[in-house]
Amino acid sequence: MKVLLVNGSPNEHGCTYTALSEVAETLKKNDVDAEILWLGKKAMPDCIACFQCRTKGECVFGDIVNETSARMDEFDALVVGSPVYYGGPNGRLTSFLDRLMFSTPNSKLRGKLAASVVSCRRGGATAAFERLNMYFSMLNMHIVSSQYWNQVHGYTPDDVRKDEEGLQTMRTLGQNIAYLLKAQKAASDSGVEKPEYEETIYTNFI
């Protein structure tokens, strides 16, 4: 069992990383592998709605999105982390997720556990948290909760380390992900079949 944690912050070892690391350490203590992927500082192209991924099988921009998509079968769960900018997740991460979720075949995503983590100095955390969870709820991914909304507060990593409730929320999230991954494995081993879905119906309102 393995979890991919995506650090969408431009700061590799900042507040978002500090929160994700708390989740990762808890996963490891529960015998679940964890990998933190930093998206870096290079320009992140937006989705341009060219639909080339529908024929090419990957995004037309050959970057970290395609690299991550190609590896999704390695992971059983996905956690995405973002700083809060103006009450929402940062543009780098949303551009990454727009393209990753649209270009990756549904078969690689559905059924996986998913969670989001946000870091803010003071406010806007819940709005950013809700925005990120929207990705998962459209793709038959199972959103994992914690004891509170998955947020930490602080201007620096040292500030975040003083947010005892926030860090505990991260640890509880890690415990819940580990438990549910083990429950999924136990269900699969005992012959419980995964859901079979109808072909998606798209209704356009005009």
| Contact between residue 29 and residue 21 where contact means Cβ atoms under 8 Å apart | no
Six token digits for residue 5: 């944690």
Percent with pLDDT over 70 in the chain: 100
- pTM given for the model: 0.95
Instruction: Please report the domains of the chain, with CATH numbers, ordered by start residue.
Output: 2-189 (3.40.50.360)
Mind listing the pLDDT tens digit for each residue in 119-177?
Answer: 999 999 999 999 999 999 999 999 999 999 999 999 999 999 999 999 999 999 999 99
Count CA atoms closer than 13 A to 50's CA, side-chain side.
14
Count CA atoms closer than 13 A to 62's CA, side-chain side.
1
